[in-house]
Every structure is written in C-alpha cells, then in structure tokens.
Amino acid sequence: MPGVVPSDPLAWVAIALFAGGALFERANRRAARYVMVSAWISFALFWLNLFPHFAFEHKSYIEGILSLAAVPLCLYAGLLLYRGRDTLFVLSRAVAVMGIVYLPFETIPAITVGATTIPSPREVLVELVAAQTGYLINLLGYHPTPIVGSEGYDNTFRFVHTDGHTLVFSVVLACTGIGSMAIFAGLIAAVRAPLGRKLRALAIAIPIIYALNLLRTTFIGIVFGKQYMQWFVDEVLLLFGSSDPYMVSFFLSDRVISQLLAVVALIGITYLVVRELPELLTVIEDVLFMLTREEYDLHSALDVPQTGSRGQMRPDGGHVGVESGAEAERGGDDGD
C-alpha cells in the first residue's frame, strides 16, 4: 500500500542498527554483537507493529501470519547471537542490505514522490511494471482501459463487468517484486564470496523474480477484472472481512493463490542461487535451526560443495588452506 505506515520509523531504527553492527563487525565483534542483538529486538517490534496492517487493513492472512511468526523468530535470533552463534552475523548483514534496498522506495520522499517534471524512481518502476502488465493482458485478448491511478501514476486499468459494474485494478509498489529482489540482494551481498559469483547469483535471481512477478500481476488483473474466481462468495467474504462480492476473485487470486505460489517460487529461486553461491546455505541452516532447534548439513543433503572463505573449492567438498565461511563465522573472536 502506498504511503507511510506506523511501522516505518521502527523499520529504519532496526535497519540502522543492523548496518551499524555490520560496520563494527570486523573492528570489534563484541560491540557488533550487542548492536545486532538490539537490531533483532527492534526488528521483532517492527513485525509486531506491522501485523495489524497486514491482517486487518491489507486483509492478507498469509502475510499477517508470517509477520506475527517473525516476532519470536527475531527475538530468538537475537538470543542465539548473544549466546555466540556467530553465523547469524551473516543473516544480520543480509537484513541490513534488504532494508537499505527496499525502504527508500517506501519512505524517502525524493524517491517516492520526485520533482514536478521528473518522475520519482518509485513512479518509474511502478509505471514500467504496469505498462508491461497491460501489454500482457492485451496480448491474451483482454482490453481494459488504462487510467491514471490515485497516486497520479499511469498504473491503473478499468474493466467494465458484464453487468455494467466498473472494476479498477492498480499496480502498486508491492506489485513490482522489489521486496523479493531486496531479499536476494541482501542475502547475496551478506555472504563472503568472490564478486563474480555474487553477480552471477544476482543475474539468476533478479530476472526470474521480475518475470514471475509480471505473470502474477497479469493473472490477478485478468481474474479480478473478469471475475473468473467468484467461488464460495459468502465464505470468502466472511474470511476476509469484506462485504463487496466483486472482491472475491481478487482475494482468491492475490491473497491466496499468488501468495502461496510466491513462496514456492522463492524456494525454487533460492535453490538455483545456492548452486552458484553455496555460502548462502549457512543462512538457511541458521533459519532451519531457529525453526526446529536441530542442526542441518545442507551442503551434504543438496550435494553442494563446501566453499572456503575466499570461495575456493575442491571437487570432494574439502577446503584449500582456509576455513569454510561457516567455520570462520562460528570461530570469530569476541575481542577488540
């Protein structure tokens, strides 16, 4: 949704702390640890504050559940980092980069609004995705009327339903895929690996995310505009707390089907990226540990070779004269 939500200041506080901890990390790991523990606590408060926005205003149960689940996970991450699980420095650095990439598109006026005659980066991105979505909708034989949206962007399509009712579908920032791109940008930037492999990993993730996102916006636009999913109308309206029967197709196509498929797509993209950048498995192992409290060796499970801290690999998965990235993180000195 456009505009500032109450959690934006909390988001900036958390990201500033994560970034500060990353800057301290090499010079003084003890100080970095305390700063990043504070960051995880702030991040937990951010997700707790965001839960009502997703669950009640945005009416997205999947995002609402995930935001609520993120609260104890963030607190647990802070506790584990405080107790010495230094691999979590990688995830902490990743969150810092994610926020630095994404938050400006939501909160900084120079990026969200722009000048009188010069469109803002946010406007350019939204209108680009809207134009390409409109092209795909037309290509499939549907021809809604393009109109100017509530933000003044050329990002909205008007469908006239068979009963004469007008339906309006807008492409907003959340429809551009920038959030998912920021996630992978943060993860890839956070690991210690050669720049070439990082760039190749980005070259895998970003185009796939962008293409899948265009398919998603096209699917939602057509299904909502043509009311193709008017299924279980009363039940869906009750579930999403709405009284508008024309929103049923939108709720099912966007809030249910698209969001579930997005989770599957992110898992698939992660697998492809990990094949290029095995260092990311350290982050995934940490997340799985927080969820299950069991240690995992994903390098062996996925038959991915171990890498050294400088990206060196042997065919048998061993190391060439250096510690592995995970070992280096776990064995870090807490001294000054």
Strands 156-160 and 145-147: what pairing?
A: antiparallel
For the CA atoms of 100, 105, 106, 111, the dihedral, rounded to the nearest 10 degrees, stands at 120
From 175, 192, 255, 275, the catalytic residue = 175
Q: Give the separation between CA 244 and CA 246, rounded to whole angstroms.
A: 5
Task: Per-residue pLDDT tens, the chain, 336 aa: give them.
Answer: 333 344 688 899 999 999 999 999 989 999 999 999 999 999 999 999 888 877 777 777 778 888 899 999 999 999 999 999 999 999 999 999 999 999 998 887 767 775 556 888 899 999 999 999 999 999 999 999 999 998 889 999 999 987 888 999 999 998 999 999 999 999 999 999 999 999 999 999 999 999 999 999 999 999 999 999 999 999 999 988 889 999 999 999 999 999 999 999 999 999 999 999 999 999 999 999 999 999 988 888 777 766 543 333 333 333 332 233 444 444 444 443
Contact 307, 313 (CB under 8 A): yes
- Residue with token string 């006239």: 160
| 74 counts as catalytic | no
Dihedral angle sign, alpha carbons of residues 28, 29, 30, 35: positive
DSSP 52: H
The CA–CA distances, whole Å, from 135 to 42, 82, 131, 140, 221 equal 42, 51, 6, 9, 12
pLDDT score of 306: 63
Q: How open is the CA angle 55-57-59, to the nearest 5 degrees? A: 50
pLDDT score of 241: 85
From 74, 216, 255, 275, the catalytic residue = 216
In a 10 Å sphere around its CB, with 0-12 CB exposed, 13-18 middle and 19+ buried, how is residue 164 labelled?
Answer: exposed
Contacts of 248 (CB under 8 A, 6+ apart): 229, 230, 231, 232, 233, 236, 237
Q: Where are the beta strands (DSSP E) in 94-144?
A: none
Contact 317, 302 (CB under 8 A): no
Contacts of 151 (CB under 8 A, 6+ apart): 2, 123, 126, 172
Q: Give the separation between CA 93 and CA 20, rounded to whole angstroms.
A: 10
pLDDT score of 314: 32
Contact 208, 272 (CB under 8 A): yes
Q: Which three-class secondary structure string do you get for 212-231?
A: HHHHHHHHHHHHHHHCCCCC
pLDDT score of 322: 29
pLDDT score of 305: 64
pLDDT score of 207: 97
pLDDT score of 7: 62
Dihedral angle sign, alpha carbons of residues 145, 149, 154, 155: negative
The one-letter code for the residue type at 45 is L
* DSSP-based three-state secondary structure for 92: helix
Q: Which two tokens stand for residue 303?
A: 């038959």
Q: Give the separation between CA 141 and CA 287, rounded to whole angstroms.
A: 44
| Residue 67 half-sphere exposure toward CB, CA atoms < 13 A | 20
Characterize 78-104 residue by residue with b for buried, 16 or more Cβ atoms within 10 angstroms of its Cβ, and e for exposed: bebbeeebbbbbbbbbbbbbbbbbbbe
